[in-house]
Amino acid sequence: MFSTHTDKQETLDLSKFPADKIRNFCIIAHIDHGKSTLADRLLEMTGAIAKTEKNKQVLDKLQVERERGITVKAQTASLFYSHQGEQYLLNLIDTPGHVDFSYEVSRSISACQGVLLIVDANQGIQAQTVANFYLAFEAQLTIIPILNKIDLKNADPKRVESQIEKVFDIPRDDCIRISAKHGTNVEMVLQAVVNRIPPPAVSSDDPFRALVFDSNFDHYRGVVANIAVFGGRVRKGDKIVSAHLGKTYEVNEIGLLRPDEHPTQRLYAGQVGYIIAGMKDVKEAQIGDTLYLQEQPVKALPGFKPAKAMVFAGMYPMDQSEYPGLRSAIERLTLNDSSVTVQKDSSLALGAGWRLGFLGLLHMEVFNQRLEQEYNASVIVTAPTVPYKAVLSSAKLIKNRRAIQKNMVYIDDQRVMMKYLFPLNEIVVDFYDLLKSLSSGYASFDYENAGYQAADLIKMDILLNGRSVEELITIVHRDRAYNTGKAMCERLKDSIPRQMFEIAVQAAIGSKIIARETIKAYRKNVLAKCYGGDITRKMKLLKRQAEGKKKMRRIGNVEVPKDAFINVLKRKDK
């Protein structure tokens, strides 16, 4: 993200944009209802980007975003718009539509005074429409409802407008019907932004105060923080302090995002832009942090609740020799994705690795994809372990069901909140995603630690011809033992090659066998013909097998390839 500085610095005099000429807004919607396309049109119409056919989801910069057609990271763009003879500065923040990334949405919202709530004119209100509406509503932002894709045959704007009126209590006349793809009525959107969204209630005469709502790490320039200025002004050379850590920095560069960086001399209250101030670590520009001038300390702005991880996975390098490389890749990626929780972990089979927490399954997949694409790392992803405490004395174990309902409360005539006590093991892998999928995305989920509870847990062994495979010992609830054991045996059967003797694959609890698979012995394994032309081919094959042998693990007399462990331990999704 490099920009040429020289010519741009002269043209941008932000003092011409007092707060009343500024509008801060974001676009929120359910996935695929057209946020990014509308963002493209707005950028084109205000001259931020040239109008060409090639503008497709311009704000989606990450490779993974472009490939999957989704927005992962919220990007910001400042637009200049002339309306009725006046120049306005419109700050647009694009947001992810996927449920996993709601966290990004609420952060963006905190820097805005209004939102464009996009609804597909055929699909109508969907899960994320509702979720995002509530986020905006609770933050008391102005909501401008926009019906998109009116150009499509199945569009039924009247019906959707009724829906919006009924569900959100927004008058149908407030709705603007557009086609972001064709640009139809997009001009009306810009006008609505100017007319209906209030300017930020801030003043440049107040002491400088800015909220950090995002940050990126750039290898050459350090931390680049996205800020919304809530008061005062800041310029290059100023000494600023971060409220969270109390550290002082000197401002090296500030500017607008259009969406590329455009450095300016100053930033004023109400404006949104970026700041580079010699911070080396993204932890120094904590999301939700407040920045102020050294000489003028201020009260910190309300920050953010840290995002809660919903889906967990174990990640291990293919080979322990790749550990440092993977560690560094994970570190660099989490620099720019602070909603991933990271904890060191280790597995007998796979060596040293991590237990990572994600906002959802998509978040995890995107993370993996970015690891592979941007950092060339190849990773084994496992179902994670959860911490257990073993009681050594023979205390009484309380039999309990896997989940116990604690509470049920009706919030309004549309929503109910239920409280359950769950063993962590039951939710770490896929509970969140299943919940979302079963409720078509409408259900939301949060959890807190309820401490350790006694449970009917047992240790399950996996045996190969009677010998325990240490790496595959599992702690499992008694009720789950059979299914888990059977699944592990089946996976092993498919991953261990046949040998000169039969192999019994068993799952056992103590001395009791609870599941079994058999790998038959070879009765004949010799090439029928081996003459002149066959020799080379046969040698290649045998040499390859000999090489493979080197990497095998010997359990008793059974040779087990590394892949077998991976196949048993890896996540089973899709």
- Given the rule CB under 8 A, which residues bind other proteins? 499-500, 522-533, 535-536, 538-539, 542-543, 545-546, 548-550, 557
Q: Which CB, 529 or 574, lies closer to other proteins? A: 529
Q: How far is the CB of 550 from other proteins (least distance, A)?
A: 7
Q: How far is the CB of 489 from other proteins (least distance, A)?
A: 22
SS3 string, 134-182, reads HHHHHCCCEEEEEEECCCCCCCCHHHHHHHHHHHHCCCHHHCEECECCC
**C-alpha span between 17 and 39 (Å, rounded):** 22
182 is in an annotated binding site: no
Instruction: Record the tokens describing residue 40, joined without a space.
Output: 């493209």
HSE of 425 in the Cβ direction (CA atoms, 13 Å)? 16
- Nearest to 78, CA basis, from 295, 226, 238, 293: 226
**C-alpha span between 287 and 305 (Å, rounded):** 10
35 is in an annotated binding site: yes
Q: Which CB, 399 or 523, lies closer to other proteins? A: 523
363 is in an annotated binding site: no
Q: Which CB, 454 or 530, lies closer to other proteins? A: 530
Q: How far is the CB of 564 from other proteins (least distance, A)?
A: 17
120 is in an annotated binding site: no
390 is in an annotated binding site: no
Q: Which CB, 278 or 556, lies closer to other proteins? A: 556
Q: How far is the CB of 527 from other proteins (least distance, A)?
A: 6
563 is in an annotated binding site: no
Q: How far is the CB of 123 from other proteins (least distance, A)?
A: 43
Instruction: Record the tokens describing residue 48, joined without a space.
Output: 């931020």
Q: How far is the CB of 536 from other proteins (least distance, A)?
A: 6
Residue 504's identity, in one-letter code, is A
34 is in an annotated binding site: yes
The vertex-343 CA angle with 338 and 344, nearest 5°, equals: 140
The torsion of the CA quartet 320, 325, 330, 336, rounded to 10 degrees, works out to 180
Q: Which CB, 443 or 552, lies closer to other proteins? A: 552
Is the separation of the CB atoms in 189 and 38 below 8 Å?
yes
Q: Which CB, 85 or 532, lies closer to other proteins? A: 532
Who contacts 144 (Cβ-Cβ below 8 Å, separation ≥6)? 114, 115, 116, 117, 174, 176, 189, 192, 193, 196, 197
The vertex-265 CA angle with 259 and 266, nearest 5°, equals: 85
User: How many residues comprise the chain?
Assistant: 574
Cβ atoms within 10 Å of 220's Cβ, excluding its own: 5
Residue with tokens 């060596």: 351
47 is in an annotated binding site: no
Q: Which CB, 377 or 558, lies closer to other proteins? A: 558
Q: Which CB, 437 or 545, lies closer to other proteins? A: 545
95 is in an annotated binding site: yes
Distance of CA 426 to the CA centre of its chain: 21
The gap between the terminal CA atoms of the chain, to the nearest Å, is 36
* Strands (DSSP E) found in 150-307: 176-177, 209-218, 222-231, 233-235, 239-242, 248-250, 253-257, 261-264, 266-268, 272-276, 290-293
Q: How far is the CB of 551 from other proteins (least distance, A)?
A: 11
Q: How far is the CB of 537 from other proteins (least distance, A)?
A: 10
Q: How far is the CB of 552 from other proteins (least distance, A)?
A: 10
71 is in an annotated binding site: no
Q: Which CB, 4 or 536, lies closer to other proteins? A: 536
- How would you class 55 by CB atoms within 10 Å of its CB: exposed for 0-12, middle for 13-18, buried for 19 or more? middle
- Nearest to 442, CA basis, from 3, 30, 107: 30
Cis peptide preceding 198, ω within 30 of 0:
no
Q: Which CB, 448 or 547, lies closer to other proteins? A: 547
36 is in an annotated binding site: yes
- How would you class 167 by CB atoms within 10 Å of its CB: exposed for 0-12, middle for 13-18, buried for 19 or more? middle
Q: How far is the CB of 378 from other proteins (least distance, A)?
A: 25
512 is in an annotated binding site: no
96 is in an annotated binding site: yes
Is the separation of the CB atoms in 561 and 470 below 8 Å?
no
Q: Which residues fall in the annotated binding site?
A: 29-36, 94-98, 148-151
Q: Which residues fall in the annotated binding site for GTP?
A: 29-36, 94-98, 148-151
